[in-house]
Amino acid sequence: MGKRHIIAALDIGNHKIRTMVASLGEKEDNVNILGVGIAPSEGLRKGAVIGVNELIGCISMSLEDAERMAGEAISYVFLGIGGPHITSHDSKGVIAIAHHENEITEEAIDRVLEAAKNVPIPNNSRILRVIPKNFNVDEQKGIKYPVSMMGVRLEVDAHIITGQLPIIKNIEKCVFQAGVDIQDIIPANIAASSAVLSKRQKELGVVSIDIGAGGTSMVAYEDGTTLHSCILPVGGENVTNDIAIGLRASIDTAEKIKIEFGSCNPADVSQRETIDLSRLSPLDTQTVSKQQLAEIIQARYHEIFCLAKDELRKIGRDGMLPAGAILSGAAAKMPGILELARETLNLPVQIGYPQQVEGVVDGIDDPQFATVIGLLILGSQYEAHFNNFNQFKALNLGKMWTSTKNWLRHLLP
Ligand SMILES: Nc1ncnc2c1ncn2[C@@H]1O[C@H](COP(=O)(O)OP(=O)(O)OP(=O)(O)O)[C@@H](O)[C@H]1O
Ligand SMILES: [Mg+2]
């Protein structure tokens, strides 16, 4: 029996902060969830810190709950961050292979990925990920993994994800002050897609759409590689705000009726059905129509899917991904969402349930956990790459997350 190896993931969302602790088995894809901690998210707006102490308090609460359930102390986390400040760019890197007998080595791959970073990125941004899409060796195009091939020129088409430095630094600071180290920062959209998409779907062509509170994150794949990623600045929070304005209800009541009575399909709701808001909150006295509630919700979800469709159109894949769209995030639990998404996107659509994990914790089979489970899956691949945790720590490689890293090749099929 091998040594039990514990990792933790921290997803700092705009609505909830979720921590998961897992043990890794002998095989890298054996992620066994031991503990979950969910805390409300305060002090964060659209992915940026607006209240340091509030956020530290919420992170600590989430970490402590997960530690208690798992019976394990967390010393470092794989951290997921999102928000509209995360942007992506395509880039190319080219290097000459002057190596012995012109064989492409792992080291050459690191060099070419490093060369791909040499693109103009927005001011004050930090590169979070360089994801290789395809490699070209001399005249041979579209190679997935060129190690040990022969050639004199190695080229990579890469997808680069950046985030705004001041925002990232403030989040890092809050995490450190909550008492844990950061092993790696992973964009939330990449994490969510890693949890809910299968290898086959990525081969066929698929888009993962995670609808959170502050935004909607998307990643499209085809032929097993990343085609496009982005974060749309509209999410469940906008739906709640629309309800508050449209029905003149307080924001807390708007959130409550959205979750309890909401639907994306007004045609399914009888015109006569009403909700007496005074039964939910002393702040609200009126009675509202369930159908009107559904109309407001439908309008905003429709906008989210129209924006997603625009993104697919930009890359020439509007209605063209055979494995369709896979929805995750807590806001994907809205009744009627599948029909609305199918009609708007003109694609097959399913809810994405996190895969590749097991565990004693109930209720993890839920699209709200896509991002945090994806962080664990990518974290387990990271650990497997470095093989031995203690050796890894002894080498003091803990803060290597800014660099490209070989383990990113795990993102290739
Ligand atoms: N059962 C439900 N049905 C519909 N919407 C829901 C449900 N539960 C939660 N939501 C909505 O989902 C949103 C929160 O989603 P989620 O918890 O995935 O966000 P987050 O990860 O904290 O935020 P983000 O990803 O934007 O940083 C909120 O707007 C909330 O109102
Ligand atoms: Mg989220």
Q: Do both 265 and 346 map to the same domain?
A: yes
CB 220 within 8 A of CB 209: no
**Region 161-166: what's the mean pLDDT?**
96
Q: Do both 335 and 248 map to the same domain?
A: yes
Q: Is 379 in the pocket of ligand 1 (CB under 6 A)?
A: no
Q: Do both 250 and 325 map to the same domain?
A: yes
Tell me, in angstroms, the distance from the centre of ligand 2 to residue 196's CA: 13
Give the pLDDT confidence of 256-306 residue by residue, as tens digits.
999 999 999 999 999 899 999 999 999 899 999 999 999 999 999 999 999
CB 228 within 8 A of CB 217: no
Which CATH number characterizes residue 157's domain?
Answer: 3.30.1490.110
241: amino acid identity, one letter = N
Q: Does the pLDDT value for residue 403 go beyond 70? A: no
For residue 237, the ligand 1 atom closest to its alpha carbon is: 29
CB 108 within 8 A of CB 99: yes
Q: Do both 99 and 113 map to the same domain?
A: yes
Helix (H, G, I), strand (E, B) or coil at 398: coil
For a ligand 1 pocket test, name from 10, 12, 14 the mutation site with the most ligand atoms within 8 angstroms of its C-beta: 14
CA-wise closest residue to 221 among 244, 204, 246, 234: 204
Interior angle at CA 401, CA 400 and CA 403, nearest 5 = 75
pLDDT of residue 102: 84
For a ligand 1 pocket test, name from 10, 15, 20 the mutation site with the most ligand atoms within 8 angstroms of its C-beta: 15
Give the pLDDT confidence of 302-345 residue by residue, as tens digits.
999 999 999 999 999 999 999 999 999 999 999 999 999 999 99
Which CATH number characterizes residue 47's domain?
Answer: 3.30.420.40
Q: Do both 44 and 145 map to the same domain?
A: no
Q: Which residue has the tokens 């709701």?
A: 269
Q: Do both 330 and 371 map to the same domain?
A: no
Give CA–CA dist 387/104, Å, rounded. 23
Structure tokens at 234: 């509209």
Q: Do both 242 and 306 map to the same domain?
A: yes
Q: Do both 59 and 174 map to the same domain?
A: yes
* End position of a domain, from candidates 144, 161, 178: 161
Give CA–CA dist 109/122, Å, rounded. 25
Give CA–CA dist 381/228, Å, rounded. 22
Residue 98: which pLDDT band, with cuts at 50, 70 and 90? confident
Per the structure, how many domains does the chain have? Answer: 3
Bridge-based pairing of strands 349-351 and 325-328 is: parallel
The bound ligand whose nearest atom lies closest to the alpha carbon of 42 is: 1
Q: Do both 144 and 179 map to the same domain?
A: no
pLDDT of residue 364: 85
Q: Does the pLDDT value for residue 85 go beyond 90? A: yes
Residue 360: which pLDDT band, with cuts at 50, 70 and 90? low
- Is 224 part of a structural domain of the chain? no
Tell me, in angstroms, the distance from the centre of ligand 2 to residue 263's CA: 21
Domain housing 61: 5-83+165-188+356-404
Q: Do both 96 and 117 map to the same domain?
A: yes
User: Which position has the higher pLDDT, 358 or 197?
Assistant: 197
**What percentage of the chain has pLDDT greater than the value 90?**
81
Give CA–CA dist 289/271, Å, rounded. 7
Give the pLDDT confidence of 186-214 residue by residue, as tens digits.
999 999 999 999 999 999 999 999 999 99
Q: Does the pLDDT value for residue 410 go beyond 60? A: no
Q: Is 329 in the pocket of ligand 1 (CB under 6 A)?
A: yes
Q: Is 82 in the pocket of ligand 1 (CB under 6 A)?
A: yes
Structure tokens at 143: 């190679």
